[in-house]
């Protein structure tokens, strides 16, 4: 996993660079952490857990796409006005040929409703994130838990700093 950018301005610059690179799968993700546990989801028929989110459709903005994806996948209403850039992360795309990279622009946000697996999502799991500083919600290492093998709620992500 490679951290490309964190913070407001750098995340935007990194996302713009991502749009120029056609060898990347460009995705958005919502980072939801409560009690040092990050929400991850598993799509029906798959064995890996991912951070909820997805791809833009047409000329959608990041906010429009993430609001739509979270409604489809989690059945919650993301408050777009509360979205805050979290970081941009790049890694080998899970289940894709070697060299196929995914670039995720991640956000935090508030939402209303009850988190429910819907649409193509089969399972929601909160995974423990250990080894992080007390201000864990601002640590990019948290997103190391974004792509997980199906190990259920016992998966632990450890900081490598």
pLDDT at position 22 is 47
User: 31-90, pLDDT tens digit by residue?
Assistant: 998 888 889 898 888 888 888 999 999 999 999 999 999 999 999 999 999 999 988 888
* Rounded Cα distance, 158 and 127, in Å: 11
The answer on pLDDT for 155 being more than 60 is no
Task: Note the pLDDT tens digit of each residue in 136-154.
Answer: 333 333 344 443 322 333 3
pLDDT at 134: 38
Tell me, yes or no, if the pTM score tops 0.75.
no
| CA distances to 74, 99, 154 from 88, in Å | 22, 18, 26
Q: Name the region of 113 (left: φ>0; alpha: ψ -120 to 50; beta: rest).
A: left
Write down the pLDDT at residue 35: 84
Classified as helix, coil or strand, 131 is coil
């Amino acid at each position: 996993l490679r951290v490309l950018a964190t913070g407001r301005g750098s995340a935007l610059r990194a996302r713009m660079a991502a749009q120029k690179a056609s060898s990347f799968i460009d995705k958005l993700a919502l980072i939801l952490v409560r009690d040092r546990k990050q929400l991850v989801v598993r799509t029906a028929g798959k064995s890996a857990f991912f951070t909820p989110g997805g791809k833009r459709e047409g000329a959608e903005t990041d906010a429009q796409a993430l609001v739509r994806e979270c409604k489809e996948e989690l059945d919650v209403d993301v408050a777009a006005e509360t979205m805050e850039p979290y970081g941009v992360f790049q890694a080998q795309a899970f289940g894709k040929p070697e060299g196929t990279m995914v670039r995720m622009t991640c956000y935090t946000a508030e939402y209303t409703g009850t988190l429910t697996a819907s649409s193509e999502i089969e399972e929601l799991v909160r995974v423990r994130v250990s080894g992080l500083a007390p201000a864990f919600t601002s640590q990019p290492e948290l997103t190391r838990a974004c792509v997980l093998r199906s190990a259920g709620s016992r998966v632990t992500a450890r900081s490598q700093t």
